[in-house]
Each structure stands twice: as C-alpha cells, then as structure tokens.
Chains A and B, each alone.
Chain A
Amino acid sequence: MSTSGEPAALPATTAEWSPVLALASFVTQTWAVTAAEVQKLRHDPFELLTRAIQPVLWLMLFGEVMARVRGVAPGNIPYLDFLAAGILAQSALFVAIFYGISAIWERDLGVLQRYLVSPAPRGALVLGKALSAGVRGLSQALIVYVLALLLGVGIDLAPLNILGVAAAIVLGSGLFATLSLIIACIVKTRERFMGIGQVLTMPIFFASNAIYPLSLMPAWLNVISHVNPLTYEVDILRALMLTEGASDYGLPLDFGILAATAAVLVAVAARMYRRMSY
C-alpha cells in the first residue's frame, strides 16, 4: 500500500487505526462542527435576543388568558406553570426544526462542501449539528427560566433538576434538528423546505402535551400525541423544571424514547447527508 511518498519536510498526518484513536477523532470532529456554531453565536448574539420574543409572547399573552379557563390545567399545578414547561420545549423545537434551512443555505453558499470533503465521518458532521441545536436550545431554556421566575412560576432550581432539564433540551433539540436535516437532504431548496417546515411544526406542537394535557384530546389525537417525541420531552421538563411537577410516563421511559429516536435519526441523517454534496 505504499503509494505515498511524503517529502521528509512534510510528514503526513496519518496514524495507524485503533478504536481509541477513532473514537477520539470522532469526538474532535463532532466538536469541530458544534464549536463553529457556538463561535458564530458569540459573534452575533443578537439572534438569541430575537429568539426570546416568542416565548415571552406565549407566556404573557396566551398563558395569562388561558389561565382563566377552568379545567385546562391538570391536577394542582397553576396553568402558567404547566404552560412554562411546554413553551420551553416549544421554543427549543422551533429553533431546531429550521436547522435544515441553514444547512440548505450553507449548501447553496458552498460552505457545506468544506465539511463534506473532509474525512470526518458523516455521523460526526450530523451529530455536531444536532449538538449545536442543543446549545441553542439551552440558551432558550435560560430565557424561559428567567421569564418564568419573573412571572412567579414555581421553578425548581436544584442542580440535579437543572441538569436533567438540560439533558432533555439537548436530546429534544438534537432530535428535531436532525429530523430537519433529513428533510433538507430530501428537498434541497429553501422554498420547498419553508412549506414543509411550517406544516411539520404545527402538528408536532399541537399534537403534544405542550399547551394542554392529553386527557383533553379526542382519542385519535391522543394516540398521535403518544408517538410524538415532544410529548416525552415536555413530560421530563414538567417533572424536573417545576416544584409541583410530576412525570406521567416516568423519566427512564421519557429519556429512553428521546435517546433512541435521536440515535435512529442521526444514523439515518448520516446516511443521507452525502446527498447535500450534489
């Protein structure tokens, strides 16, 4: 196999393959993608501020009115508390679901080719994007936490609970961002994506327990909501974010469903990602 004749002055950067090295470089390559996104956010934090507007509107307009409707909030939690967890999941979802648009944008510019021509496994490229959606999701969480505290929502600030919320946000955002990347690989143009993105966001949001409990739903919608990953993300958030919160399905099941769905989507997206190069 000795076709390489590197001049002595410039040794090639190839090492013998080993599982440890392969994992280390996979982690580095994944981080390369995420770090670039974080750097972009640092250069232009204005985007994070504009993203804060939507959760403010939902909680202060929709939340304050719906809180007066009797029977919406289940059990003993005030509706605003119930809604706060749902709006956190929703705002992270809205950020993540348009990730495909930025991938298409990067593809049109040519920037994406820089990634695709590199030896990084496609799985690392996709996972890096998923994690950067998670970072953006976390910034949304910070905003919603501050806002909820100001509105008097009973927020549980125990470190372990915050850690659990962070994990759920990263998983949920990564999952929906990856779904978005898969759609981008199929449609490839911004115009088509915009249509699909809108059509997708509404059912994911409304066919879930984000703004009302599943018990209020007709049977068919209830079934759909149970296969919607957002439902399980919201379930974790209600349990861990709120002092009065409790999980309907149990945290192990919630996390299991989110992790498994994310893993499958990342694997699918990794296989499809090369379509973005032509």
Chain B
Amino acid sequence: MADTSANAQAQGPVVVVEVAALTRTFGDLTAVDHVTLTINRGEIFGLIGPNGAGKSTLIKMLTTLLPPTSGTASIAGYDIVTQPADVRRRIGYVPQLLSADGSLTGYENLLLSARLYGVPWRERKERIAGALRRMGLAEAAHHLVAHYSGGMIRRLEIAQSLLHRPEVLFLDEPTVGLDPGARETVWERVLDLRDRFHRTMIVTSHHMDEVEEFCDRIALIDRGRIVAVGTAAELKARVGPDATLDDVFINLVAPTSETESGENYVDVRRARRAARDHG
C-alpha cells in the first residue's frame, strides 16, 4: 500500500471515487436511483439539486453511514460495503448537521478525532496545534465550542475531518447558515487543500455562485438521478448561450420535483436545525 504514484499528476487523472449504479430506497421512495460517477484525484466535485433530490443520501452511502440497496462504489480502491473500515480511514466527512461537540473545547474535539482515527500519539500535539493555527482557532482552542460562532464551528469541523489526512473529503452544505466572510474562509481552505495537497473534495451546496466559482465539475441530481455532469461551462452550454447555473438548475430539474421529491418534515427540520445551529 505504499506510495507508488508521487507524480500521479504527470500520469493523467487518477480515479479516486468510482460509483456504479448505486441505489437506495426507503420503502416506496427511491432516494438514490442508479447513480454512476467517477471522480478524479484533486477534483473539487460539486453536487447540486433540489432539497430531497438525494444528495445527502448519496453522501451517506459513500461515507459508509448508510448501506446501499443495490449497486457499488469504491473510494481509493476500497469497496464501501465490503471494506467500510478501509474506506473510513481514507475519508473525511463534514456533515450537514452540527458535528463538533459543544460541551468540549476545540482542542478536545480535535483530540477526540485524533484518537478515533489512530493518529500516532507522538504526532497528535503537533498536528492539532497545526490544525488550530491553519483554521484560525489557536486563540479559542481551550474555549468550549458552545461559545464559538457558526463560522468557527465549521472551521473546527473541517479541521477535525482533516486530522488524519484523508484522501477524499465530503462536505455536505459546508456554507449553510454562514455569513459571506465565513463562507469565503471555508472555500479558501478547500481550495488550499486541493492546490497544495491534491486532495479530492465532494461538496454539496445550494449556492450556485459558489459552486460555479469553486467546483471543477458539477453533477446535478434530481429525484435520485444524475441529470447532468460536467464543468460549469459545459452545463450552461446545454441550456443556452447566456445561461447561468441557476438557469441550468431550473431548466433541467423537473418542475414538480419539490412536491414529489420525498422531502418531508424530517428533512425540513434537519435543514432548519442545521441553519440555526450554524447561524
């Protein structure tokens, strides 16, 4: 398992995430319907689509939190169903919901992650200190997270997900409920990770402007299916010469999907709670 491709970039794209006909049903509802995708190393891959389209369900399957009904997917060569522990070691996940513990300090949250991910104890202090510094949390390291601002919590959660240096980072609506300044900081960190460390990132967002600006490729999901994949320019070209990404969204998403997409009280409660917790 050693390092064989230090110059992976020179050899052309390396596939890190491979999804084949991945499907998940809940009773009658097909939340994710035969999704097939490949994502390359170093890509920032955006997932967009209406509420309840299946973005979070897809991410939950890829992060091994939810078993698929059928289909397969692999991350860094490991199967999400048969090798979940290997997958978990290689991914980081910043969930939509609040995942930092408010009753612990920032430092303690990072220490928890370092221990859970088996960061060697000799390196723990140094890595945690580095993470706090890079995320601008060094001053607040020993304050309870309950007293952090939404932007600080998000940065802490990103730091927690990166401590074990994952190959693929999943960010489920990382900027929801954040003010523009805090959003900017989150994206700066994401870009920096790609540019300096060649990490792969899968990001969901409802902000078309930031998806267009920061994502290398975008998949539009509607009712559990991928309706379009490509660069922002390619997606826009499908709709018209002067189209924006908003136009792509409106044109390619079935008009009734809001009512039939399976969004329910629970989804709404989750989304609003997330917005509140991070706001």
Interface residues of A (CB under 8 A from B): 1-14, 25, 28-29, 31-32, 35-36, 39-40, 43-44, 109-111, 113-121, 274, 277-278
What per-residue 1/0 map shows which CB atoms of B85-100 lie under 8 Å from chain A? 1001111010111111
A29 to B85, CA, bound (A): 14
Q: In the complex the two chains form, is A40's CB within 8 Å of B117's CB?
A: no
B119's partner among A1, A13, A120 (CB-CB below 8 A) is A13
Instruction: Please report the C-alpha to C-alpha distance between residue A212 and residue B120 in the assembled complex, in whole angstroms.
Output: 51
What are 11 sample pairs from A and B whose C-beta atoms fall under 8 A apart? A5-B41, A6-B167, A12-B167, A13-B165, A28-B118, A32-B115, A32-B116, A39-B104, A109-B277, A111-B99, A114-B113
B65 beta carbon closer than 8 Å to chain A: yes
The residue of chain A having its C-beta at the shortest distance from the C-beta of B41 within the complex is A5
Which of the segments B2-10, B211-219, B239-247 contacts the partner chain? B2-10
Q: Known A-B contacts: A32-B111, A40-B104, A114-B116. Give 10 more (CB < 8 A).
A: A2-B1, A4-B76, A8-B3, A9-B197, A14-B89, A35-B111, A44-B103, A117-B63, A119-B116, A277-B66
Q: Decide: A4 near B3, CB < 8 A? Known: A13-B165, A28-B115.
A: yes
With a cutoff of 8 Å between Cβ atoms, the chain B residues found around residue A4 in the complex are 1, 3, 76-77, 90, 167
Q: How far is the CA of A2 from the CA of B116 in the complex (A)?
A: 24
Bound Cα distance from A118 to B116, whole angstroms: 6
Q: B3-42 toward A: CB 8 Å interface, digit per residue (1/0)?
A: 1111010000010100000000000000000000000010
User: How many angstroms between the C-alpha atoms of A186 and B63 in the bound complex?
Assistant: 22
Q: Which residue in B8, B160, B274 is a CB contact (below 8 Å) of A114?
A: B160
Tell whether A32 pairs with B1 under 8 Å between CB atoms, given A13-B120, A25-B118, A119-B117.
Answer: no
Interface of A: prevailing SS:
loop
Known interface pairs A7-B198, A10-B197, A119-B117. Does A109 touch B112 (Cβ–Cβ under 8 Å)?
Answer: no
| A111-B98 Cα distance, complex, nearest whole Å | 6
Chain A residues near B8: list those with CB within 8 A.
5
**Cα A111 to Cα B198 with chains together (Å):** 28
B98 touches A109 (CB 8 A): yes
Q: Which residue of A lies closest to B24 (CB)?
A: A278
User: Would you call A5 and B5 a contact (CB within 8 A)?
Assistant: yes
Pick from A2, A7, A29, A111: contact of B197, CB under 8 Å: A7
Which residues of the partner chain B approach A274 to less than 8 Å between Cβ atoms? 65
- Asked if A111 contacts B100 (CB within 8 A), the reply is yes
Determine the chain B residues whose CB is within 8 A of the CB of A14 once the complex forms: 1, 89
Contact of B144 (CB < 8 Å), options: A43, A109, A114: A43
Q: Is the CB of A6 within 8 A of B3?
A: yes
Count residues of chain B with CB under 8 A from any CB of chain A: 54
Which residues of chain A come closer than 8 Å to B183, judged between CB atoms? none
Q: Are the CB atoms of B115 and A111 closer together than 8 Å?
A: no
**Is A117 a contact of B88 with CB atoms below 8 Å?**
yes
* B residues at A contact (CB < 8 Å): 1-6, 8, 14, 16, 41, 60, 63-66, 76-77, 85, 88-91, 93, 95-101, 103-105, 108, 111-113, 115-121, 144, 160, 164-165, 167, 196-198, 274, 277
Contact of A119 (CB < 8 Å), options: B95, B118, B198: B118
Complex Cα gap A2–B97 (Å): 34
- In chain B, what residue has the closest Cβ to A40? B103
List the 8 closest pairs (A to B, CB-CB), nearest first.
A110-B97, A3-B77, A5-B5, A32-B115, A118-B116, A277-B65, A5-B8, A119-B88
Known: A4-B76, A36-B108. A278 touches B6 (CB 8 A): no
Instruction: Check if A31 sits within 8 Å of B88, measured CB to CB.
Output: no
Among B76, B118, B160, B198, contact of A29 (Cβ-Cβ < 8 Å): B118
A1 touches B93 (CB 8 A): no
Q: Which of B3, B97, B116 contacts A113 (CB 8 A)?
A: B97
Residues of the A chain whose Cβ atoms lie less than 8 Å from the Cβ of B2: 2
Closest to B64 in A: A117
Bound state CA distance, A129 and B42, in angstroms?
A: 37
Contacts of A121 in B (CB 8 A): 85
> Closest residue to A12 on the B side, CB-wise?
B165
Alpha-carbon separation in the docked complex, A121 to B4 (Å) = 29
CA distance A11 to B6 in the complex (A): 11
Separation of A222 and B93 alpha carbons in the complex (Å): 51
Is B1's CB under 8 angstroms from A36's CB? no
* Bound: A9/B99 CA distance, A: 28
Given A2-B2, A29-B116, A43-B144, CB of A113 within 8 Å of CB of B99: yes
Assess the B100–A119 pair: CB atoms within 8 A. Answer: no
In the complex, which residues of chain B have a beta carbon less than 8 angstroms from the beta carbon of A118?
88, 113, 116-117
Contact B112 A36 (CB under 8 A): yes
Residue of A nearest to B196 (CB): A9
Q: Bound state CA distance, A117 and B170, in angstroms?
A: 11
Report the Cα distance A272→B8, complex, angstroms: 40
- Bound state CA distance, A8 and B119, in angstroms? 17
Within the complex, what minimum Cβ distance (angstroms) separates B189 from chain A? 15
CB distance from B273 to the nearest CB of A (A): 8
Docked-complex contact B165 and A117, CB < 8 angstroms: no
